[in-house]
Structure 1
């Protein structure tokens, strides 16, 4: 049932030797390995766990199983230190892997986290060392013809239907590829580790998974640090929240003295969108750039801006690139539009997890209401909502849930320049968390876990200290001219 993406290293085969059975009935194997963080070796254990692919349909004697893998890097303890909950790293995506993220961490950062407990780099089902790795290829769209939103969505829907059918033909139990099932994998890991509670460290989709685990197993959570927060019903973004983040960013950019006399950023984007909606243009880079000529339109402008809203470097560069567009040089839009039209490999885990989390009916209705009057519309998620809608009979959306009140200690972290997981996501969640705290970093964007202030707060929180809710004020980073 493994559909291996091209170019990806082969998954390790199941280990030989002694397997044990956990209290949950899962098969477990442990190996001693050397794990590297940016090339620095650390003694570690590789845990291999075989769990049902879909627990609700696993009443039979030999249910279909998937293989999960996690690397445990032991805590740096002194004699007599109390044993604390292991810290499980939950990568984003969905589709990224904990072992890749921890392996790319500076060794000093990893060791500072180990001073707070065992660090568990968890590869969620369908990522890196875990199986099944699912992938499929989309069909390309013509490069130099106008494409309506309906045409784009229809093509994406066909791709999704073909992908889902390919997975079914390979024996994949589609109902098993949900964030709720992913959270049960975490509980199987906890039981295998034989610990009463876990601490969680998650970013982006990892926060969505972490909240799903809190909702299902709150008493098993010691502490959680969730950075760049995607709430239970935030898989598809609210245009109003994206627009609000962009409006604050644009106002700060316009107030910068280096921008004196320039067209306000929001007005410039509105003008470009209107112009290219009226008269789409075929644009190309230099013949040696390797990018074909492609037709750009108003939605290209929206996507170009939306893509920048999760990247601090791109946000620093965006005003100068918009200036280029206003001067009639449309080449900055070419890579964005080319990516939208080229054939690409779909990460099956990403597609299935996004679609099975999906959006509640109320959320879908709100997105539809807001899109018509939104500056950036809903392009930040496109074409995933259309892909999910076309496969809803196979992948029924069932977002994770939280109780009305949560007692678990959770530190939420947001950046004011993050349009992918905006501050407003946490503002909506925080009232139900009795022991929740919200650390907001001004002028930071998505992927801010490595920010020194954020990391210091993370270590303090995992040490049992209180980290108060606060906004960390900083000067605006210099814009690229």
Structure 2
């Protein structure tokens, strides 16, 4: 941390505990600035190794508004691999500021991310997948398995204890953060993978958690989503499309359109021309797998789902792949071998999947629209690294009476409302709020979401509250 004129010892109004933090000016990507405090503490990289090196876990604290004395509110980013401080700089900056009505707000960077990255190196393997020759699903998965084994050895050679990057060890970091802040309890506020971490904390350190706000929840045995739940999502997407006459005319049968395009590409992949990051043309063989993989990301929110719809319609009706080529050029690192991030790879492999759920996923993937690509490269890498999997006891759902607000979007194509509620079935005090038309990133879809969050934090019963977010025009592309 910095020292000198900018270093201060801040006193938390909540507890009176003093911690060394740096006074900073925190500026959002939109240019809004606020005074904040940057702090850190040390933790073992691998808590199961008594000789582990120490790493720094960092955060930014936004002070509660005047006369507010609630427990600190710890934001848990999704991914895994998202940064709490990075999230605070983007669209949710205003919500971070609002939440100061209830306590100090902590933009927490989980181990391996943001201020807690500790120079973890990205792994660029020697394994490449051909861009111009057909590749089966099995061959594609095998390439990623080879790359992941190579990357594990690379990280170990770099002195990284990759076995320390698990949700279980991040829970211990949360406990250390609470103690570092001098608080008896904390409120957890998360989304997506951040809710996975929160549920693990609800199991391991329930007495340290006052309450939790969870959106787009991922249960402890839901690292890999069930393919048939995506089919149900497509039905909900179709209903939303049908509510808009122009969209209904353009996409009268979304599932049928997707299956036609997949079947055509499976029978005969199409060679297209893609502009690489240097702007030069590059040949690329478009396969069924490419569409399934790109769509798995695009369906997170209705706005990006509109891109997927347009991509399929272009292929189905015109036989052209201009939009698919643009997406590949934008999001694929053409010509590069397989690259893996340490934190996100290790976290997913450690959380894993039970044998029963894996069998269900593999059976459903045979005929599901997106196959086994919704969470690629899981479950393809499941238990590849010996000794990392946290086991079925970890994957058991939490049980308890901690107050929880669960926010679920009907058009979330990554996590699904029914599975979100099932993940918290063992918690007796859950206020479940459905946000109609919202996707995975629902926090900023409507001020009504914020109103429910504030009411919950004030102790009000908001279970069953109905919220409707604006539905974007599904015939318009958001770029």
From 105, 116, 122, the equivalent of 1:135 is 122
From 95, 99, 117, the equivalent of 1:113 is 99
Q: 1:17–1:171: structure 2 CA closer, same or farther, 3 Å change rule?
A: farther
Contact 1:29–1:47 (CA<8 Å) still a contact in 2? yes
- Please state if 1:45 is matched with 2:37: yes
Contact 1:254–1:264 (CA<8 Å) still a contact in 2? no
Q: 1:107–1:337: structure 2 CA closer, same or farther, 3 Å change rule?
A: closer
What is the correspondence of 1:271-350 to structure 2 with a 5 Å cutoff? 271-285=260-274, 290=280, 292-326=282-316, 327-335=318-326, 339=332, 342-343=335-336, 345-350=339-344
Deviation at 1:450, TM superposition (A): 1.6
From 371, 393, 396, the equivalent of 2:389 is 396
Q: 1:193–1:174: structure 2 CA closer, same or farther, 3 Å change rule?
A: same
Contact 1:76–1:111 (CA<8 Å) still a contact in 2? no
Residues 252-289 of structure 1, C-alpha deviations (whole Å, 9 max, x = no match): 42564223385511111111111111111111147995
From 78, 81, 87, the equivalent of 2:73 is 87
Secondary structure, aligned partner of 2:367: coil
Q: 1:156–1:14: structure 2 CA closer, same or farther, 3 Å change rule?
A: farther
Deviation at 1:296, TM superposition (A): 1.3
Secondary structure, aligned partner of 1:294: strand
- Please state if 1:34 is matched with 2:25: yes
Deviation at 1:412, TM superposition (A): 0.9
Q: Which residue of 2 aligns with 1:387?
A: 381
Question: Following the alignment from structure 1 to structure 2, what is the Cα–Cα distance between the partners of residues 223 and 269?
Answer: 42
From 448, 452, 460, the equivalent of 1:457 is 452
Q: Which residue of 2 aligns with 1:416?
A: 410
Contact 1:215–1:402 (CA<8 Å) still a contact in 2? no
Contact 1:211–1:402 (CA<8 Å) still a contact in 2? no
Secondary structure, aligned partner of 1:219: helix
- Please state if 1:66 is matched with 2:55: yes
Residues 447-476 of structure 1, C-alpha deviations (whole Å, 9 max, x = no match): 111222222212222222222224434574
- Structure 2 length normalisation: TM-score? 0.87
Deviation at 1:243, TM superposition (A): 1.7
From 413, 426, 445, the equivalent of 2:420 is 426
Deviation at 1:135, TM superposition (A): 1.4
Deviation at 1:108, TM superposition (A): 4.2
- Please state if 1:214 is matched with 2:202: yes
Q: Using the TM superposition, name which of 277-286 and 410-419 deviates more.
A: 277-286
What is the correspondence of 1:186-225 to structure 2 with a 5 Å cutoff? 186-225=174-213
Residues 408-447 of structure 1, C-alpha deviations (whole Å, 9 max, x = no match): 0111111111111111222312432211011111111111
Residues 98-124 of structure 1, C-alpha deviations (whole Å, 9 max, x = no match): 111112256543332111110111111
Q: Using the TM superposition, name which of 378-387 and 399-408 deviates more.
A: 399-408
Question: Following the alignment from structure 1 to structure 2, what is the Cα–Cα distance between the partners of residues 341 and 474?
Answer: 37
Q: 1:224–1:135: structure 2 CA closer, same or farther, 3 Å change rule?
A: same
Contact 2:350–2:390 (CA<8 Å) still a contact in 1? yes
Q: How many residues are aligned here?
A: 455
Flag structure 2 segments of 5+ consecutive residues without an equivalent: 10-18
Q: Which residue of 1 aligns with 2:370?
A: 376
Contact 2:163–2:346 (CA<8 Å) still a contact in 1? no
Q: Which residue of 1 aligns with 2:15?
A: none
Question: Following the alignment from structure 1 to structure 2, what is the Cα–Cα distance between the partners of residues 384 and 430?
Answer: 23
Alpha-carbon RMSD across the aligned residues, in angstroms, is 2.7
Q: Which residue of 2 aligns with 1:9?
A: none
Question: Following the alignment from structure 2 to structure 1, what is the Cα–Cα distance between the partners of residues 3 and 56?
Answer: 8
- Please state if 1:237 is matched with 2:229: no
Residues 38-88 of structure 1, C-alpha deviations (whole Å, 9 max, x = no match): 433322222210111222333x6xx4211101111110123xx5x211101
Question: Following the alignment from structure 2 to structure 1, what is the Cα–Cα distance between the partners of residues 121 and 460?
Answer: 41
Deviation at 1:149, TM superposition (A): 0.8
From 341, 346, 351, the equivalent of 1:352 is 346
